[in-house]
Structure 1
Amino acid sequence: MDTNVQSFAVANLQRRPDVVETGGFVAGFDPATASPFINYATPLPGARPTSADVSSLIDAFRMRGLLPRLEFAPDAAPAVEAALRNAGFTVEEAHSYLVCTPATLILPPSGGKGGVDPALLVETPAFDEEYAAVDAALGESFEGVHASSAHGVARLRKLEDGGGGVRFVRAPDGTCAGAASCSAPAVGTAELAGVGTRPAFRGRGIAGAVTAALTGAMFDRGAESVWLEFSGEGSRRVYERIGYRPRGTRLYMRLEA
């Protein structure tokens, strides 16, 4: 599954507006933002980069004024971490990831997906103000790490229109209490990311509800699996109750100026 997830990372970056393929790496850039969480690179499965390959990759970032940064599953390309360290890259974070398949997705007795409160109504945004509310809620959920912006709103709409998905639970005031997004499937799998609940609405099962709804939607669209990363043991338990299972690790590395 590491190779499947890594192959997905390659295919997903190849969807960016500006793509560079060099020395066994694929870098995906979006000129609309300088965010390192959008502009990054990943190796091809099995890549064995030389120092010249890494230098060429660094140049692709530097010429755009961006921080050289990679995300990848190290088990799918074991030689890459050492090559990056030799060039001065350091580990930003290492995240475990979980995978759900149609066989592991848990269906509660009520018939709703994920063992979540069936009273929670999960919706798909349809209007600009709903996408803006989702983007604002996710910005609040992640405490400004992903600040709300017009680009963020456009990105969410593009996900939904492009074969991925966005789901949310509405707050009593008509805005968004919590939401999640998922990429369009590629190489048989899809990445579910950006699961967030505003602080005032936590502990009500919203994260589980939107995650389960999106996971089921991706299976309906032909995905053979859906994977995600978790931020702590609390969120891990939420995802495992839905049917996600531990499968591997992804590494985040960057080269500071």
Structure 2
Amino acid sequence: MDNHVQSFAVANLRRRPVVVETGGFVIGVDPTSTSPYLNYATPLPGSRPTAEDVAALIGAFCERGLKPRLEFAPDAAPEVEPALRAAGFTTEASHTYLVCTPDTFAPPVSAVPVETPATDEEYAAVDAALCEAYDHAFPASPEGAARLRRIQERGGAVRFVRAPDGGCAAAATCSAPAEGTAEAAGVGTRPAFRGRGHAGAVTAGVTGALFERGAASVWLEYGGEGSRRVYERLGFRPRGTRLYLALED
């Protein structure tokens, strides 16, 4: 599955507004932001970078004023991690990823209504809710709301649970499929609404939407044992590891 997920990562970054390819790496650039979580690289499966390749990769980030950072499945390109560490890259995080298929998918029997945003106000509310859910690590902005709309309009999925005040209580997104799979991400519930089954409802919403569009699998990463249990109840199963490396100042 590592090669499958890594091939997806490459294809997904190639959808970015600006794409740079150098020495067996693909860099996806979002011109509206300098966030390292939106601007990062991934290697081609089986890549065997030289020191010169890594230096060119670092240079491509630096000339754009961006932090050199990568996300990838290390088992799909075993020679990449040693080459990056030799250049000074360090571990930012390492996560197990979980995979769901139509055969394992078990959507909850729930009365929680899940909706698809349609208006600018709804996309802005989803963006603001995810900002709050992630403790403002990703500031809400018009650009963020526009990115969410693009996900929905370009073959992915955005789903949310409406709060009593008409805003957003919880939301999730899923990329458009590539290489037969899709990534569910940005699953978040505002603190005041946690413990009500919202995370499972929106995750099931985006997962089911991608299966309806023909994806053979949906994968995601989890942030703690609580969220892992939520995803496993929906039919997600552990399949591999994703590594995040960055070159600090």
TM-score computed with the length of structure 2 as normaliser:
0.99
Q: 1:98 corresponds to which residue?
A: 98
CA apart distance, 1:200: 0.3
Equivalent position of 1:127 in the other structure: 119
Following TM superposition, by how much is the alpha carbon of 1:147 offset from its aligned partner in structure 2, in angstroms? 1.1
Corresponding residue number in structure 2 for 1:24: 24
Q: Distance in 1 between matches of 2:116 and 2:31?
A: 28
1:203 to 188, 195, 199: 195
Post-superposition shift, 1:209? 0.3
Point out where structure 2 has 5 or more consecutive residues left out of the alignment. Answer: none
Output the amino acid matched with 1:105: F
Deviations 1:191-227 (A, max 9, x none): 0000000000000000000001110100000100000
CA offsets 1:86-121 (integer angstroms, 9 cap, x no match): 000001000110000000001xxxxxxx2242x110
Take 1:8 and 1:146, find their aligned partners in 2: how far apart are those partners? 24
Instruction: Give yes or no for the alignment of 1:221 onto 2:213.
Output: yes
Give the secondary-structure state (helix, strand or coil) at the position aligned to 2:124. helix
Q: Which residue of structure 2 lines up, in the alignment, with residue 115 of structure 1?
A: 108
1:142 corresponds in structure 2 to 134
1:168 alignment partner, SS class: strand
- Structure 1's unaligned 5+ residue stretches are 107-113
Indicate which of 155, 167, 174 corresponds to 1:175: 167
Equivalenced residue count is 249
Identity of aligned residues (%): 71
- Match of 1:123, SS? coil
Q: How does 1:36-47 map to 2 (within 5 A)?
A: 36-47=36-47
SS of the residue corresponding to residue 3 of structure 1 reads: helix
CA contact (8 A) 1:190 1:225 kept: yes
Q: TM-score, normalised by structure 1?
A: 0.96
Would the aligned equivalents of 1:116 and 1:205 in 2 still touch at CA under 8 Å?
no
Matched, 1:61 2:61: yes
CA-based RMSD of the aligned residues comes to 0.6
Counterpart AA for 1:42: T
Structure 1 stretches of 4+ with a deviation exceeding 4 A read: none
